[in-house]
Every structure is written in C-alpha cells, then in structure tokens.
Amino acid sequence: MRKALTGFVMAALLLALPACGGAENAEVAVEGTDPGAATVPEQGSGVGPAGSETPPHASPPTDEPGPPTASPDDTAPTGAETGPPAEPKHGDRWRNPLGIEFVYIRPGAFTMGSPGDEPYRQDDETQHRVVLSKGFWLGVTEITQKQWNDLMGPNFCYFEGDNVPIESVTWHDAMTFCRRLSKKEHHTYRLPTEAEWEYACRAGTTTAFHYGDHITTKQVNFDGRVYFYGTETEGTFLFRVVPVKSYPPNPWGLYDMHGNVGEWCADWYGPYPSGEVTDPKGPQEGKSRVIRGGCWQSYQRDLRCARRLAHDPTMMHYTYGFRVVMEP
C-alpha cells in the first residue's frame, strides 16, 4: 500500500521536474529548504525535451526493440574479504561487500572541456589542463537499486529492478549513501569530482564521446529520434532506464558514462579556471551541484564528455542517479 501511494505521489511530483539535458543548465536557488527534501523549481517547459510528444513516463511502443544484451562478465572480481590491492595498477578490479564493482583509475593529466568547434558546445566548457595527482577506484556502473536497498532500505524509484540504476535521489541522498557505506566498510566512499568524472569518461580519448564523434542507440540509452552529429539513421527511444552493463563500456571498462541516468558529482557548479589546475574540486560555494553524462531522455548533444548540467542539490528526478569513488 505504501509503495503504491508513494508511486502515485512520485508520479505527480516528477511530472513537474525538468529532465536532464532537456534544457540548458537550470541553476535553481531555493532558500530555506530542508536539505533532505525534494523541491520543485518553477519551470514552464515540463519534463520532456522539446519536440517530444510522448510523456517520458509512458510505456514504449510494443514493437520497440530493447537494448543490446549484455555479455556475462566472467572476469568480475570478488575480493570482498581481502580488500582492494594495496598497490593497485590501472585497470585493476575489485568488488566490495555490497557488490559494487570498482576499477582503478591511474593518476594523469588531460584537457577538460570542449574545443571551440565541437558542435553544440556550451560557453561553460572552456578547455583547460587538469592534473589528477592521485589514482582512485571508480564504480564500474551506477549504483543499482539492489545495492541501494541493501544499504539504505526501500527506494522511491520511478522505475523498478534490482539491476537498474538507482534514480529519484537528491545530491544529499547520494552523499548520505556514501557516508553510510564509509562507516559500514571502513573505507572512504564519496562522489567523484567533476574533473575525475570527465577524466574517467574520456578514458584517454579527445572526441565528443568516448566512442568517437558519433554515437547511436546501439551504444547508449538516449532519445535517438533526433539527429545530431551527422547521424543518418533515426535511432530508438526506450522511454526508460535499462539495467547496468546493457551497452558496451568505455576503453577503461566503465559502463553508461553516456546516457541511462545523469550522475551527481561532488562539485558546486561554477565557471572553469582559464589555466592549468591540479586536483580541482570546484567552487567553495554555489547554488547548484553538477550532474554529468546525460540520461535516457537526453539528445546526443547532452551526452558529450564535456557537457555540464547543474541542478539544486535538493532536487530529485527519475533521470538522476550516481556512481561512487572509493579512495585507495
């Protein structure tokens, strides 16, 4: 009964919220709000991206093909009893007791942001050199509903499934998850910084997407009915999240860095520096927290490696989820 009532309330609430990537950055200042409460910003555009005639909560057409079938990961690590390697190498894998699989990302430097000639780039994507002096363990997938439920109790997701990403969570919810997991497992878990997220997403590439300068709905869960980046064939739109690992990973073994659900990052949203920076953590204060990666409801332009979205940290939506970092 509680689940059914919650679902009804959530449906009414979520229909008023903006989708990730459906509009430009929505920096919403909410004064005096409870950090744990969801807020509904005043926004007239509604939930779907422009031109979408079908509401995002609708069921997909019956002849709509599903996502590619993920191949079994026979090399997935166990290691929960022994802990992560003391001296990890780039690409090492480890799975914690909660079942979150991590890959170790080496320290390095990269160019963050987008070049001036990248189609649909935004003014806040100023290119600058970033040095990450420390390696980190990053979740191979977004946190799943089973992982959330096992640690936090029942969720309030719009979509259901043990192996689909957690969604309808605020930034504060994601932080609470990290704190509780840190306390339980005696490791430091946190959200990735925006720089760590883009470094991991690019995985050594310099193109608009880690797949190259073009993507299709055979590679990513997004709204493929609108053409950008020279795509000649109309793609699909599944109207939903899909299980993690449904699509091919990036060169560093990370799944769904483009699409599926947008991912909260640790940083406040703000302008980039003009020069080189080391281990940036964003502004000291702000109104909105960064969300990266785009979502199942986004167009291609909003899935780019450099694309930045930002929303009030008390906002929840069925396109917002997260993945976590574990510090070595």
State the SS3 of 237-306. CCCCCCCCCCCCCCCCCCCCCCCCCEEEEEEECCCCCCCCEECCCCCCCCCCEEEECCCCCCCHHHHCCC
Helices of type H across 56-170: 145-152
Contact 260, 110 (CB under 8 A): no
| Domains of the chain as residue ranges with CATH | 1-22+86-328 (3.90.1580.10)
pLDDT score for 234: 81
Q: Where are the beta strands (DSSP E) in 98-201?
A: 101-105, 108-112, 128-132, 136-139, 189-190
pLDDT score for 292: 98
Contact 299, 18 (CB under 8 A): no
For residue range 96-129, list pLDDT tens digits in order: 999 999 999 999 999 999 999 999 999 999 999 9
Percent of the chain with pLDDT over 90: 70
pLDDT, average across residues 308-317: 97
pLDDT, average across residues 310-316: 97
Nearest Cα residue to 122 out of 282, 287, 269: 269
297: left (phi over 0), alpha (psi -120 to 50) or beta: alpha
Greatest pairwise CA separation for the chain in angstroms: 55
Pairing of strands 128-132, 277-278: parallel
pLDDT score for 33: 34
First-residue to last-residue Cα distance in the chain: 43
Mean pLDDT (the chain, rounded)? 82
Q: Which strands form 325-326's sheet, in the order they lie side by side?
A: 93-95, 101-105, 136-139, 325-326, 189-190
Contact 259, 298 (CB under 8 A): yes
Q: What are phi and psi of 173, to 5 degrees?
A: -60, -45
For residue range 251-294, list pLDDT tens digits in order: 999 999 999 999 999 999 999 998 999 999 999 999 999 999 99
| Highest-scoring range by mean pLDDT, 14-23, 43-52, 149-158 | 149-158
Rounded CA-CA distance 24/326 in Å is 31
pLDDT score for 170: 98
Rounded CA-CA distance 224/38 in Å is 30
C-alpha distances (whole Å) from 35 to each of 6, 68, 149, 191, 314 are 20, 38, 21, 17, 6
Residue 321 has pLDDT above 60, yes or no: yes
Give me the sign of the Cα torsion angle 182, 139, 290, 282: positive
